[in-house]
Amino acid sequence: MKAIDLPERWSKAYVSVPASPRRTLACSSGAGPTSSSEARSSRDSSPFARCSIPPGRCTVRYYDISLNLSPDTVRWVVAPPLEVHERRRMSRGDDVNASALTVSVHAGTHVDAPFHFLPDGAGIDSVPLERFIGPALVHQVDADRFITEAHVNAISLEGATRVLFKTRNSELLKRRDFEPDFVAFSVGAAHALVARGVGLVGLDYLSVAHADEQVPVHRAFLDQGVVLLEGVDLSAIAPGRYELICFPLRLRGLDGAPCRAVLRDLAG
């Protein structure tokens, strides 16, 4: 996991837009690194680095919670491996480097579309964009195998409609082999989240449900229009409130899509 350093031209464009009350930007009051070597040292000293913006300018801190996709990335027990096809390589005398991928739409960090479990459900390209961006709560749960209804009812949502669950799964994501003994939602927990008005649920493993409960848990969410964000890496994320940005690929009519999921620190 690494922080995203915005190019200077993007940083200036971003901070020139007035921040809304719900998207507070913190301003840096101290002097930043004075040389490129100091800047690199500053970035390397922490997994989360501030953007390089002149002192006094607003700063934005982003956390990349996406898995790094490769043939070695952990995958669902029956999912095909990601394959990289090197179509052209400059090392072989070609003018360019060009690659193609064979990959599951549920690989790595991804979003499930309603069509994944509903025969007449919407494809991933039909899910409104506003569902994928906005305030989100990262909530840590100490659970063995199931996130239960009791776990859900104990959450202080305070208006949050997007909730990402951090569990012991975050360590399992670092392993190449699939781990069937991950933490997943019970059907009761899914119904409880729907009842509490949550519209997006994220989990730090490849599915919100165990293999033997895929249909009832997914249906409990998707029947009610809840967006499912699976495979988020929350291992270095502190519980709290953030802004979530997780746009999936626009794959027409398909049952899901990989996405780049990012959290923005609202505390600055």
The three-class DSSP label of residue 188 is: helix
SS3 102: strand
Helix ranges (DSSP H) in 32-161? 36-44, 149-153
Contact 228, 218 (CB under 8 A): yes
Spatial distance between the Cα atoms of 233 and 110, rounded to a whole number of angstroms: 11
- Element containing residue 220 per DSSP (H, E): helix 214-222
Say which of 85, 106, 110, 116 is annotated catalytic.
116
Give Cβ neighbours of residue 237 (< 8 Å, ≥ 6 apart). 63, 65, 138, 166, 263
Parallel/antiparallel/unpaired status of strands 200-203 and 240-245: unpaired
| Residue corresponding to tokens 């390397």 | 44
By DSSP bridging, strand 184-185 and strand 256-258 are: unpaired
SS3 content of the chain, % helix, strand, coil (to 5): 20, 25, 55
CA distances, 143 to each of 81, 168, 182, 190, 191 (Å): 29, 8, 10, 15, 18
The verdict on whether 116 is a catalytic residue reads: yes
Q: Which residues are catalytic?
A: 116
